[in-house]
Amino acid sequence: MTSFVLRKVFITLVKMTGFNKNSKEAVATMYSVLVVTFFNYGILYIIAPWSFGEAGAEDGDLFSGIYTDFTSQWFLDIGSLIA
């Protein structure tokens, strides 16, 4: 849902910039969709389940996940989603 909304927002913003050629508009749209997709399916999957307990995060805080290191269980749960 989030990626769909962000994709629509970026496409609307690119259309509002007023490129003089359709190819420039298409390239800008593809780059913005690439950034949103990379963040949602690459970076967020790695950071969200990570435990920042060493940095002072407590249970219930943002990014107070269950993984403190790359373990075999992490690869089973998260690595397969990324791959």
Structure confidence by residue, pLDDT tens digits, 40-58: 777 777 777 776 666 666 6
- Kindly indicate the confidence band of residue 5, based on its pLDDT and cuts at 50, 70 and 90: confident
Give the global pTM.
0.52
Q: What is the mean pLDDT of residues 6-22?
A: 77
Measure CA of the first residue to CA of the last residue in the chain; give whole Å: 21
pLDDT for position 35: 85
Distances (CA, A) of 37 to 22, 32, 75: 22, 9, 21
